[in-house]
Amino acid sequence: MSAVDNKFPAEVKAQDAVNGVQANGSSKPAFRLTNSPCIPNGPLPAEGSGAFNNYHLAAIVILVPWFVQRCLPFGRRSWYIYFFLFIVLGLPLTIGYWILTSRYGPPKNNKVPMPNRPLSDYYIIVDEEMRTKWDGKKMPMQVWHDAYFDGKIQLAPGLTLLDVLEYRYDWSRFELSFENFRYVLFNLIPDVIFHTQKQDVDHVRDNYDRGNDFYSWFLGPRMIYTGGIISDVTREETLEELQDNKLNIVCDKLQLKSTDDLLDIGCGWGTLAAHAAKNYGCQVTGITVAQGGADWGNQRLRESGIPESQGRILCMDYRDFPKDKKFSKITCLEMAEHVGIRRYRTFLNELYNLLEDDGIMIFQVAGLRKCWQFEDLIWGLFMNKYVFPGADASLNCGWVVNELEGAGFEVQSVDVFGVHYAATINGWYKNWVSNREKVEATYGPRWYRVWLYFLAYSIIVARQGGSSVFQITVHKNLNGFHRVDMIPSHPVIKTLRRKGEFTPIDTHKEWFPQVYGTSVPAVAPVVAPAVAPAA
């Protein structure tokens, strides 16, 4: 039970719906809460306003300039005037449409009742100017989190940030703000269009070279900045267990052996490379643009007993990596988001050329759901601005698979690990909270609050499917590829190995003497009873 629940013991909360309290008197629960020890469970899984209709937007942007042109009292009506009006009005119409649909669009459903508590039960506005404008009013989420980062808002006594965010639909509005649009127009769109090598390196180094101490204070001893995997839903696994599960699964899917040569692109602090080299005896090469990560990774390899002749971490951009060498196994775990939409297919083509014809690649990405809600979009803009600048290729699974197939790969399996990510980030969140004094002493209170918000909110978004993680196993789509070699490591086949636990369905044996033999006695066919004609 959260601190919010403890604070309001007498109120009728969302749990009433789970117990069957509905307006129509039905005993069937309106929705079902998770109650698993392996993840932080949400107390209020409300739905927000869904994605707008692209056809409606297109009709407005096309027809309004035409209507304005028709109403002009001067000049003849020409295509030149129409195109001028289209250019002038297109952007304001788009912004206005997005704001209106985000503010007034209906939620996906209304199954979850809101507690409707006073806003002061969740947070306190300490900035005088902001209090004058927003006291007693729900503010857009972007306005709220920026004010929280700047110290203009404090959490109500006794509540954690995760507690407050779990009840966000009771105190915030998920509408696009003008600051959201300013960021999209002047930051996100130029990043998507250009995505130069210098821009990418600057983004990543500013982020990942912030300091190994910064990342160690939430990633823990494994220093892995990608989602782990739950193996036991009956308990809360440690962060180290979750990450070790992921390392073992990746290596198992790769079918690693001592004769392999593994390339890990976007290797972070080199943990996967060290794990593969130490446990499978293979050659490993890691690539990262962060110098701090490369230094850490090489030290990790040496301390793990891996000589430089067997394992190395290189500090370089993937575009500068030699193109003449090929690898039997490649991993790319949550790095492709930084490549950008514009260069995505080119990047995949480069991976294709680096992989041997009989090689295997694990391609893991995080991305927003295709049928998004405005909350997802606002969270994604926050992530792009504060946490992963330049990572504009955080897209849905279907888009990623289409790009992989377009680059010549065949997809062998796709595993969705979004809820596993919620458990992983929960471990990061706890580590970050426990190291608050160190963070604030070194990087200041603002950085602590920004990262606390990122971690707390990401637990929720991953748990509810707003963003997910897709681990995709691929190989080259060539006629000569030995697809039968992929069977032993396929997750479905591992399930079939339990077939001795099940009783097969053997009926109509007389129809199949080649299978059951000729001694099976014939059984009279069962004829369905005739239906009497209506009187």
Task: Please state, in angstroms and rounded to a whole number, the distance separating the CA atoms of residues 338 and 347.
Answer: 11
Provide the token pair at 325.
Answer: 């060498």
66, 84, 219 from 78: Cα distances, Å: 10, 10, 61
Residue type, position 378, single letter = I
Task: Estimate to the nearest angstrom the gap between the alpha carbon of 413 and the chain centroid.
Answer: 18
Residue 217: the pLDDT is 98
Torsion sign over Cα 325, 330, 333, 336: positive
Residue 527: the pLDDT is 60
Q: What is the mean pLDDT of each run of 10 residues along the chain (535 residues)?
A: 48 43 51 89 90 87 92 76 92 91 89 91 98 97 98 98 97 95 92 83 78 97 98 97 98 98 98 98 97 96 98 96 96 96 96 98 97 95 94 95 99 97 98 98 98 98 97 98 91 67 81 80 60 60
Torsional class of 28: left (φ above 0), alpha (ψ -120 to 50), beta (otherwise)? beta
Task: In the chain, list all ranges with CATH 3.40.50.150.
Answer: 199-439+468-481
Supply the DSSP symbol for 345. Answer: H
H-only helix segments in 435-528: 436-443, 445-464, 491-496, 513-516
What's the Rg (C-alpha) of the chain?
Answer: 28
Query: For the whole model, what pTM was predicted?
Result: 0.89
Torsion sign over Cα 272, 277, 279, 282: positive
Which one is the CATH code of 199-439+468-481: 3.40.190.10, 3.40.1180.10, 3.40.50.150, 1.10.340.30?
Answer: 3.40.50.150
Supply the DSSP symbol for 410. Answer: E
Torsion sign over Cα 343, 345, 348, 354: negative
- Beta-carbon contacts of 255 under 8 Å, excluding residues fewer than 6 positions away, are 360, 485, 488, 489
Task: Please state, in angstroms and rounded to a whole number, the distance separating the CA atoms of residues 523 and 401.
Answer: 50
Choose among 143, 249, 163, 82: nearest CA to 433. Answer: 163
Q: CA geometry: angle at 489 spanning 231 and 463, to 5°?
A: 35
Provide the token pair at 289.
Answer: 């643009």
- Dihedral angle at the C-alpha atoms of 431, 367, 246, 165, nearest 10 degrees? 30
Beta carbons of 466 and 373 less than 8 angstroms apart = yes
Residue 497: the pLDDT is 60
- Residue 123 in 3-state DSSP? strand
**Burial tier of 322 (Cβ tally within 10 Å: 0-12, 13-18, 19+):** exposed
Choose among 221, 204, 311: nearest CA to 264. Answer: 311
Helices 291-303 and 197-208 meet at what angle, rounded to 10? 60
Q: How many CA atoms lie within 13 A of 85 on its CB side?
A: 19
Residue 329: the pLDDT is 99
Task: Please state, in angstroms and rounded to a whole number, the distance separating the CA atoms of residues 270 and 286.
Answer: 7
